Amino acid sequence: MFDRLSAPIATLVATHLGLLPAQVNALFAPPAKGVAGDLALPCFQMAKARGVPPPTLATELAGILTAAGITAVATGPFCNVTFDPAAVATTLLPLLSPAGTVNGSRSGGALALRSTLGAGQRVCIDFSSPNIAKHLAFHHIRSTMIGNALAHCYAAAGWDVTRINFLGDWGTAFGRLIAGWKREHLTLEQLTAAADQVTFLNDLYVRISAAAKADPVVEEEARHWSKALEDGEPEARNLWQIFKTASLKEFERVYGLLGVTFDSWKGEAFYEDKMEPLLAELASKQLTSQDQGATVVDLPTLLNTDKVKTWKKPVLIKRADGGTLYATRDLTACDDRFSEFGFSRSLYVVDLGQSLHFQEWFAVARLLQRPYADKLRHIGFGVVLIWNDEESAWAKGRTRGGKIMLLREVLDEAIERAAAIVADKNPDLAADERAAIARAVGIGAVVFNDLKNGRTGDVKFKFEEALRFDGETGPYLQFAHARLCSIERKAEHRTGGSPVHLTNEAEKAVLLAIARLQGALERAVELDEPSVLAQALLTLASAIASWLTSGNSDLNARVLCADSAIAASRLSLVIAARGALGEGLRLLGLIAPERM
């Protein structure tokens, strides 16, 4: 969308220098902070090709553009362009709110967040992927919401998205749980009667682990049941299924709160009996060796050179007792995904702590010459630290009376706190609407806090900060959106406005911020970085705030002024901005209420 403004400039420059417009277009950047202008053209490369100093070329180009009626000045090696507000409005507004359909076009501004970059290619996104029989802890928010935001962004950018929850539903933990269950003669009735079934299973796990530590007989029982489970023994399988069902019920509840869905739930267990062909192939290609009874792919021997010693240790593929491992399951699952979906890209949204695991099995995929080997991406992220009131410090988990807070509990508390703020700000709302708003705002606060900064950094979460209406927060964006909705409601009967009345700088800033969203979306996808979109939305919201508050404190009067032609134009901009902001929030996984 922004290229509608920059294309004429690219063409002028390209013609002058004998380049292709696309070559010039690729150079455009936002001007440096504090520099006046809407678009910067760095002249380094073009100057080098011409054999002149960059500032000389910048001055030359500024002259060419000025002669064509464009405001351009050279600042050192940059040629900075300033757009005319009326030209921006005439170019952009019709794209964002098609004429005559102002109040009808509820999605005009959302078009700013569409791209065809993906060209219908398939992307698989493996995210959330928790381990069953355990609660979703607060840190699970990260994979879940980064993955969810990426899934929305890829879809908006023209990709065909498959959302995968690769449940951790396999491993020795389940043998232990079964041993505990049998030892304590527990029944399905007892489990279903429990107020919280996952807590019931968690507690059982803690008890049996302690018992196994103290008593080798118990440890032996756990091993026996692990083996029974792997061998497909019916009683073991049956109990495992019971544990899985109980966990899924709890997961669904949290996903429901967060508005997260999946297309595939094939977890690790699904692949348990499908790994033989892979093991056989590895062996036939002479990629495996034996190491103390275990089967490994010896990456140091296979890949390290005299000079480059990237790999430190072999990858375990099969344990000495015959059990398979995480890397083997990931490889098998990837083969399956590729044959089912034929993906062009496959993302694994998993914390940075697992980087080595992904590097290793990606390397094995390359050794196997899988056609998908260069399409795999590990989307790592840092840890989330939560303010711990009891210890007055940032910690990996906030504890309540010594117990780590669960994701569900953090969300519940955020909703509760948001409810108090909403009741205070908007006491006239009906109770059920207020509850819905509190939910959107409370959850939005937690989610946006997680997405607003680069994903590889650590995140700090503090309720008071995340819930502020005036910081870089989800509620701030939601509030800007609700404000625009409120203006629209008051203008129920206006019809489409002409761009000619949008002539001031504040209006231009809003339009440019909307037009830049498409580029932000594309970058968010290419870098797998939802924060790029989050930051672009913050810029838009602050442009909206400056526009609505500049000059006149009465926001409604500012838009819905006495001159109905001007009012209609401004209303078109309100609608475009509301549509863009609402859609941007949706892509990040936030709900944007119409009132707050």
Residues forming the site for ligand ARG (CB under 6 A): 126, 129-131, 166, 168, 330, 348, 350
Question: In the bound complex, what is the minimum distance in angstroms from residue 335's beta carbon to ligand ARG?
Answer: 13
Question: In the bound complex, what is the minimum distance in angstroms from residue 252's beta carbon to ligand ARG?
Answer: 17
Specify the residue, 128 or 473, whose C-beta has the smaller distance to ligand ARG: 128
Question: In the bound complex, what is the minimum distance in angstroms from residue 134's beta carbon to ligand ARG?
Answer: 9
Specify the residue, 126 or 472, whose C-beta has the smaller distance to ligand ARG: 126
Specify the residue, 112 or 125, whose C-beta has the smaller distance to ligand ARG: 125
Specify the residue, 21 or 130, whose C-beta has the smaller distance to ligand ARG: 130
Q: H or E segment at 377? A: strand 376-379
358, two tokens: 């992904």
Half-sphere exposure (Cβ direction) of 428: Cα atoms closer than 13 Å:
1
Question: In the bound complex, what is the minimum distance in angstroms from residue 376's beta carbon to ligand ARG?
Answer: 10
Q: Are strands 294-297 and 315-318 parallel, antiparallel or unpaired?
A: antiparallel
For helices 530-549 and 474-490, the axis angle rounded to 10 degrees is: 50
**What is the rounded CA–CA span in Å between residue 59 and residue 41?**
11
Specify the residue, 25 or 129, whose C-beta has the smaller distance to ligand ARG: 129
**What is the rounded CA–CA span in Å between residue 94 and residue 427?**
38
Question: In the bound complex, what is the minimum distance in angstroms from residue 129's beta carbon to ligand ARG?
Answer: 4
Q: In 3D, which of 339, 340, 357 has the Cα closest to residue 348? A: 357
Specify the residue, 218 or 254, whose C-beta has the smaller distance to ligand ARG: 254
Question: In the bound complex, what is the minimum distance in angstroms from residue 334's beta carbon to ligand ARG?
Answer: 8
- Minimal CB distance residue for ligand ARG: 168
Question: In the bound complex, what is the minimum distance in angstroms from residue 132's beta carbon to ligand ARG?
Answer: 9
**What is the rounded CA–CA span in Å between residue 520 and residue 296?**
43
Angle of CA points 192, 194, 199, to nearest 5°: 110
**What is the rounded CA–CA span in Å between residue 148 and residue 257?**
13
How far is the CA of 431 from the CAs of 240, 339, 423, 440, 559, in angstroms? 42, 50, 9, 14, 30
Q: In 3D, which of 162, 166, 94, 156 has the Cα closest to residue 125? A: 162
Specify the residue, 389 or 458, whose C-beta has the smaller distance to ligand ARG: 458
Question: In the bound complex, what is the minimum distance in angstroms from residue 123's beta carbon to ligand ARG?
Answer: 15
Q: In 3D, which of 262, 241, 263, 249 has the Cα closest to residue 135? A: 249
Q: What is the DSSP string of 456-503?
A: TS-EEE-HHHHT-SSSSSHHHHHHHHHHHHHHHHHTTT--PPPGGG--
Specify the residue, 350 or 540, whose C-beta has the smaller distance to ligand ARG: 350
Question: In the bound complex, what is the minimum distance in angstroms from residue 359's beta carbon to ligand ARG?
Answer: 13
Question: In the bound complex, what is the minimum distance in angstroms from residue 504's beta carbon to ligand ARG?
Answer: 50
Specify the residue, 133 or 571, whose C-beta has the smaller distance to ligand ARG: 133
Specify the residue, 126 or 488, whose C-beta has the smaller distance to ligand ARG: 126
In 3-state terms, the chain is what percent helix, strand and coil (to 5)? 55, 10, 30
Specify the residue, 333 or 485, whose C-beta has the smaller distance to ligand ARG: 333
**What is the rounded CA–CA span in Å between residue 146 and residue 158?**
18
CB 252 within 8 A of CB 294: no
How far is the CA of 559 from the CAs of 71, 80, 311, 314, 566, in angstroms? 28, 31, 63, 66, 8
At 82 the three-state DSSP class reads strand
Question: In the bound complex, what is the minimum distance in angstroms from residue 386's beta carbon to ligand ARG?
Answer: 19
